[in-house]
Chains A and B, each alone.
Chain A
Amino acid sequence: MTTGATALTGPVQTTGELLGVKRVGAHHHVTLVAPGVAERFRPGTFVALRVGGPLSERVTRASYPIHRVRATGAYGGTVEVVLTVTEADAAARWLAAAPAGSALDVVGPLGRPYALPKEPVTCVLVGEGAASAPLFSLAERLRERGCPVHMLLGGRTEAHLFGALEARRATRGVTVATEDGSVGIAGSVADLLPDLLARTGADVVYAGGSTATLHAVAAAAEQHGAWSQAMLCGGDVAMPCGTGLCHGCAVPVVGEDGVTRMVRACTEGPVFRGDRVRWGDLGRVPEDAR
């Protein structure tokens, strides 16, 4: 069952199928058959999945940024997401353990994608752990536009890095950082970014990671006079429905008019201009918010 407009825009709701789950270091790489989603995909959009199977008592959805899509192939359109299983995340636990062939309802692609530059400007893509996943499709699109792309990937340990090998194959410059120094430079991506920005003279920074990391990335970009685009899905902003219905994922964002509004990360985002998000007030409702 597929719904949606005939034009290839906006989300569709479809009964998908779990094609396979691959362990990648500390993460799980999940491939879903989800007809209709791939054709509408743009880097930075996400899928909202109904997890737990037919007997689940779970009411909400779980949202993950799309890593990659394949529009055609032996199985029809597929969508790939990358997740990290934690004790608190029952949805990720289920997805990681679900047998191939499991049916699950998929809604997507949802949200506003990463904004692409009109000119072939230099871009730095910063990713932390599994939140790096959406940056690879983005890198492809940027290269198609003639943008020089540098990637900065980080993680707690080598196992927590995602896509470092693929990045090396695909882009001009890759910098890898681990907090324990097990591979690459010892430190966080936030530590290394200012130097990379200075070295590359990047005009735009695209980021995925924890809100603390995104905050640091946005600050570094601003200091270097670069635009930043931060992804709030797949990090630590909860999205109960993913479709804009529940108003559960509201974050304080400053508008063009200078007014702070609580906006839904799923519909106004998940990608925001880094200089627009009131990072220090995430989780709160600022006094002056409307």
Chain B
Amino acid sequence: MSDVDLTTALAGLTLASPVMTAAGCGGTGRELEPFLDLTALGGFTTRTITLDPRPGAPAPRVIDTPGSVLANTGLQNPGLQGFLATELPWLAQRRVVTVVSISAGTLGEYGELARRVGSSPGVAAVEVNLGGPSHDGAATAFGADPYQAGKVVHVVRRDVPRGVPVLAKPAPGAPAVDMARALAGNGADAVVLGAGCPGLAFDPDTLRPALGGGTGVTSGPAVLGQALRTVWEVHAALPEIPLVGAGGVRSGFDVVQMLLAGATAVQVGTALLGDPSAVRRITAELCAELECRDLASPADLIGLGHLPPATERDPA
């Protein structure tokens, strides 16, 4: 692609493109490999890792809802030790830009996860998932309250080596502006916004919640508007904070919209469930979107949507 350079600077990282995968939607990385070049990703975000292994939520865990899925996997993961032994080395060997998502129930656990993940070779960044580890992804005491969430990020930032950026991802439904201010104020290098809304669906036979875990998170194209609005509001209030926009991104123009709203990079999640090569397609579409607007870099679009409309032509 001619003059477009997708290289993206995010919180001290240099990414091949602004299009990353989102936590919990890319498997261990191995599952995506048949469909795309993992090193071409802006970054690969792991599923959320907890200190101890978690077997996850009962079935069903993921159900179809209009333009979206409703999911509660219960953060199934092999635990820190299992992850470091079997999943991270595979990614590191292939030089994939790996963002490790972590979640814990106490500040002490967050500290231990931060120390051990942050000092492992092959970790490009740490993402603090403030939506876990309660079963339904709903806000725990940490995730709901900007003050508590800030304390978590403070601990993680303190225990992760300086050169490794810390991304913070508020719980779905948390007050975004207050949260972003607290997270950045406590050392988050970027804030991940918009990834899904708290959700619920009922089973027509049992007349009880359809998910095995009860409540869940709605994600997919249906939440794009909500995600854009969240990024927009946080960027308007706190333009200096680097943002990663997530939630419903499935096309090159969706990426453009996230950038216009104020994001520096995006995460693609649910789109992968229907199309495992989606990131490759989206990245190519983004190139075309930039090219047809004579833009050389995605950075040219960041926050542009907040400016007054461009005039059609110069008044002669």
Contacts and interface: CB of A to CB of B under 8 A. Distances in A.
A108 B59 CA distance: 24
Contacts of B274: 50, 58-61, 241
Dominant secondary structure at the A interface: loop
A4 interface: yes
Nearest to B270: A59
Interface in B251-282: 270-277
B34 A247 contact: no
19 contacts: A3-B36, A11-B34, A12-B34, A13-B35, A50-B274, A57-B66, A57-B221, A60-B62, A244-B27, A244-B31, A245-B31, A245-B276, A246-B71, A246-B73, A247-B24, A247-B27, A247-B56, A247-B76, A250-B61
Name which of A11, A241, A245 has the most chain B CB atoms within 10 A of its CB: A245
A3 B76 contact: no
Interface in B5-47: 24-28, 30-32, 34-36, 47
Interface string A249-274: 11100000000011000010000000
Q: Is the interface of B mostly helix, strand, loop or mixed?
A: loop
A6 B221 CA distance: 33
B61 A248 contact: yes
Given A3-B34, A57-B67, A246 B277 contact: no
A13 B277 contact: yes
B174 interface: no
Contacts of A241: 62, 272-274, 276
Contacts of B220: 59
Contact of A60 (B64, B73, B212): B64
A172 interface: no
Interface of B: 24-28, 30-32, 34-36, 47, 53, 55-64, 66-69, 71, 73-74, 76, 212, 220-222, 270-277
Q: Which of A59, A238, A244, A262 has the most CB of B within 10 A?
A: A59
A57 B31 CA distance: 24
A10 B30 CA distance: 11
Contacts of B62: 60, 238, 240-241, 246-248
A238 B59 contact: yes
B270 A243 contact: no
| Residue among A58, A237, A249, A267 having the largest count of chain B Cβ atoms under 10 Å | A58
A243 B27 contact: yes
Nearest to B67: A57
B222 to A, nearest CB: 8
B34 A285 contact: no
A5 B35 CA distance: 9
A247 B273 contact: no
Contact of B67 (A4, A59, A105, A245): A59
B199 to A, nearest CB: 13
A249 B27 CA distance: 13
Interface in A202-219: none
A210 to B, nearest CB: 15
A267 to B, nearest CB: 7
Nearest to A252: B55
